[in-house]
Structure 1
Amino acid sequence: MSVQLNWLRTFVTVYRLGSFTKAAHRLGISQPAVTHQIRNLEKEMGRPLFERLPHGTQPTPAADGLLREVQGPVDALGQAVQRSLGNEVAHRPLYIGGPVELTTTRLIPSVSDLVAEGMQFRFRFGLAEELLTDLGAGELDLVLSTIRPRSRGISATPLVDEEFVLLASAELAARIPCDQLATEGPSVLDGVPLISYAESLPIIRRYWRTVFDTVPVVTPAVVVPDLRGALAAVRSSAGISILPTYLCAEEMASGDVVPLLQPEVPPINTFYLAVRQGELSHPQLALLHGHLLMKGQLWT
């Protein structure tokens, strides 16, 4: 038995809608046919893809991984078929929300070819919670979220993981006994100015708990609510900070900033593409969604 394309299309639809019954209605096939296709795919994969619940389904980690690989190509193929049949994509601006740093450095450059094809976009920056609220209210079409949405009516697809690193400028790092960090912990950094995204040290607290199994008990020297500003402060030797590697890859490659520690398991955070359930039937949104899933594999 080999995996068939219609199994993958059915799998993607069940994942998005969270229901075999809804997927059958959307695809125009019977529910037993949906069940049969998913069971065949699970047999081929050698692991369950959905946990059957009294009211719908819950995807397994195996389903999350499979969706990351196949959803983009399945959507893109569907759009190619529509275009070959002469179905024009309805043109209206798509409203996209996300964190300012990843949206400006990765997402916006990734859609330039779609803009060249005539698609229109409107971007909004903000925190995940407020953007997801706007998504649920219909004010946004898609959100690049730093948290997995739990609201009813919103589906999310894992897109990319960001890895965090403890950084200093080369000049400042030379004055820090970095070789002692792994054995003595953050006490080695006492007296070194700390640069944070917020007063509450959200990113730094997560790194401290994951790597040092403790929480920071310091007041930041600099607070800048934009990770690009925090990177600029680190480059200028104003202090140390925790930043995602995608944001500072060029600076690390050039030696302007250097990692102070390289833990075996660095802290990561997963970004999700969040949309309202059922909205991926909109051709433009489905095209963008699939496009970003393919592009997202190149972001790290």
Structure 2
Amino acid sequence: MAFDRLHTFLEVYRRLSMGRAAEALALTQPAVSNQISSLEQEFGFPLFVRSRSGVRPTPAADSLARDIAEHVDALGQTLAERRTRSTALSGLLHIGTPAELFSSVGPRIVGAFLGTDIRIQAHFGGRAFLRQGLEDGSFDLALMASSPPERRFGSERVGGERLLLLAHPQIRDALRGRKVDAQALQTVPFVAYNAELSLIRQYFLEAFQGTCQKAARIVVPDLRNVLAIAAELPMWTVAPDYLALPYVASGRLVEIGPALTAVNPFYLVWPKGAPRTSRTMFARRAVKDALISTGSR
């Protein structure tokens, strides 16, 4: 049973479409259909229910995918890595990432490619933007704060962040002698990353077992600017440690709340399956090694 046909089966299974699988594999749709039909004839049972909107896996296909996916993916990676060792590394690599995260880890990532002819194009955006870029093939890799659950994506944890409760020194002084809790903090102005107060609510829930009911005085959808504002104006905020620690070290911001034990992971994410080029296979390994070896928490 040829590896190519099993690889094609997994692409169709993950993408729920022979057309999208054909695009990913750089094949024609009839070629993909013929490979699936050949597998079905060999097994003696149908793998997919065809419809105008795509395909639906049968229970037999679910069972087959569970049995072979890990082995087929591993073999595909091994073959790609062997090609990497014998092929010049060049071309353009597209990486999607939150802008704030790239401002911290970008130099490590770029440094991993200095010995190659690979060029890097970074694309900045939030979760929906990053997932869309992976789905439509615009990105080879993405750094995300959560691993997409869809089976067509592969992922590996490469770091994490802890949230810190930070304030301008004037806010620390204003709260001196008072218990710093959810109630006290809502009596002084604060700046937030979004109107939903996602980071602040997460911190309040773990640190104070409470929530923040007050609206932020300022909302800025860029954590770097959130920190800059809190450092210049008498306000408090919640931000990840990888961006905040330089402000703490310089004394421009001070920690005023308990340290959290929970770590929010972030992941290196890629579309499973084809195309496995020497460039993308090298990039996955290089980015992972660069982030993990430099202690990206």
1:284 aligns with 2:279: yes
Equivalent residue runs for 1:77-156 within 5 Å = 87-156=86-155
TM-score using structure 2 length: 0.70
1:272 aligns with 2:267: yes
2:250 pairs with one of 251, 254, 266: 254
For these two proteins, the number of residue pairs brought into alignment is 230
Distance in structure 2 (CA, Å) of the matches to 1:256 and 1:92: 42
Offset, 1:143: 0.9
Equivalent residue runs for 1:195-234 within 5 Å = 195-234=191-230
1:170 aligns with 2:166: no
1:22 aligns with 2:18: no
1:154 counterpart letter in structure 2: F
Report the 3-state secondary structure (helix = DSSP H, G, I; strand = E; otherwise coil) of the residue aligned with 2:86. Answer: coil
Q: Deviation per CA, 1:49-71, whole angstroms, max 9, x where unpaired?
A: xxxxxxxxxxxxxxxxxxxxxxx
Distance in structure 2 (CA, Å) of the matches to 1:178 and 1:124: 46
Distance in structure 2 (CA, Å) of the matches to 1:179 and 1:280: 59
* TM-align CA RMSD: 2.7
Partner of 1:299: 296
Distance in structure 1 (CA, Å) of the matches to 2:192 and 2:177: 20
Offset, 1:110: 2.7
2:285 counterpart letter in structure 1: G
Q: Deviation per CA, 1:106-161, whole angstroms, max 9, x where unpaired?
A: 13443234145221111111111221122011111111011220123111111111
Distance in structure 2 (CA, Å) of the matches to 1:241 and 1:177: 17
Offset, 1:173: 1.4
1:28–1:145 CA distance, 2 compared to 1 (3 A): closer
2:102 counterpart letter in structure 1: T
Distance in structure 2 (CA, Å) of the matches to 1:262 and 1:289: 36
Distance in structure 2 (CA, Å) of the matches to 1:256 and 1:240: 12
Distance in structure 2 (CA, Å) of the matches to 1:98 and 1:157: 15
1:240 counterpart letter in structure 2: W
The answer (yes or no) to whether the contact 1:168–1:240 under 8 Å persists in 2 is yes
Distance in structure 2 (CA, Å) of the matches to 1:233 and 1:134: 31
